[in-house]
Amino acid sequence: MKKEIQFEHVKKSYGDTEVVKDLNFTIKEGERLILLGPSGCGKSTILRMIAGLENITDGNLYMNGEKMNHVPSGLRNVSMVFQNYALYPHMTVKQNIVYGLKVQKLPKQEMENRLNSVMEILQLRGLEDRLPKSLSGGQRQRVALARATVKRSDFFLLDEPLSNLDAQLRESARKELVKIHEMFNQTIVYVTHDQIEAMTFADRIALMYNGELQMLDTPDNVYHRPANVFTAKFIGSPSANILEADYRNGWVHTGNQAFEVNDSWKEHMNKQSFDDILFGIRPEHLELSTSPMSNGLEGRIKYIENLGKSCSIYLEADGQEMIAVSENGSWKQGQSVYVRPQSDRIHFFNKATEKSLGHPAERTETNQTIEERRVLV
């Protein structure tokens, strides 16, 4: 049976408050699925339902093809790592790591083999006899990862496992996690609110907001083909520009000004016109110039944020606010500028539903395999 996790109309309420709404999706065998979203959107609750630490209010949860709604946590073949490590303080590093295997009554030789391999991967050699209190935060987190890894369970669940580490340690821990995943090919479900972590580690991202799944797709598609305004704005920094517009005969009118889209967009929009739509463009997909450009909008710089490597340029065009990014440090507040949206990077959304009107030459998740995606990362 496949190591899949399947949600079928899964809901979770606390009292009258529904915190997870009608989840319907499948986490594929061996994939790294990231549950991403702002604080309070229900990520941890979903993870805890998979782990069996939280009851399901409605719907069904299947793992390995079996209904799991009422199966106790200990029988679900999961291992879990939390943000706060939760190591046993009175046990040494080695005792912490093998404790679960002892409970499982694993043969001694097998236990030693697993311990040795994980000590090597997670660079814990030399720390075997130390107590958790004598370890640094990064070392404790690696012990917690090691303890979960040695179980070699079908499902590996991680709840913000790296959020207590500094940026450098996070990056190296992510690499170690990838190594562990390549060795044991577990199905990984990983909760974070950090989009960089999601973009770099995920095979697919499940983006949540307010208990609802907003988009489930590869990082590439979540970034380039956002399914709705929330996704466009949540992914990417600075956040995507969303402007009110009309679309008529291949031209996007943002007020008094307009620019023409390319032929594939014209074909995609199928000769229709739309009043009152939302036009989206990421700051990094706006070209800036001091002189007029064809298909550019005229605007004025309101202020500039210098980030060192690049500047965020806040400007106003046609009475609407936009952000552009530029590596050129010579822009001046109050300056008159021209901005041109890159035609193959634009997005349109229905104003009422905030859902995407699609993209030309749409690429769906089904024609990009996990292996293809990992080559791209």
Residues within the interface to ligand ATP (CB under 6 A): 14, 19, 37, 39-45, 193
Smallest distance, ligand ATP to C-beta of residue 75, A: 23
Smallest distance, ligand ATP to C-beta of residue 160, A: 7
Q: Are 59 and 11 in contact (CB under 8 A)?
A: yes
Q: Which residues contact 330 (CB under 8 A, 6 or more apart)?
A: none
Smallest distance, ligand ATP to C-beta of residue 258, A: 41
β-bridge pairing 274-281 and 347-350:
antiparallel
Comparing CB distances to ligand ATP, the nearer of 19 and 51 is 19
Comparing CB distances to ligand ATP, the nearer of 44 and 149 is 44
Q: Which residues pair with 207 in a beta bridge?
A: 36, 215
Q: Are 355 and 178 in contact (CB under 8 A)?
A: no
The three-point CA angle 22-27-30 to 5° equals 170
Smallest distance, ligand ATP to C-beta of residue 36, A: 9
Smallest distance, ligand ATP to C-beta of residue 14, A: 4
Comparing CB distances to ligand ATP, the nearer of 42 and 226 is 42
Query: How many Cβ atoms from other residues are within 10 Å of residue 329's Cβ?
Result: 10
Instruction: Return d(Cα 5, Cα 29) in angstroms, integer.
Output: 8
Comparing CB distances to ligand ATP, the nearer of 199 and 208 is 208
Comparing CB distances to ligand ATP, the nearer of 139 and 160 is 160
Q: Are 235 and 223 in contact (CB under 8 A)?
A: yes
Smallest distance, ligand ATP to C-beta of residue 59, A: 16
Pick the closest to residue 94 from 122, 115, 78, 64 (CA basis). Answer: 115
Comparing CB distances to ligand ATP, the nearer of 18 and 171 is 18
Output DSSP code: residue 188.
Answer: E
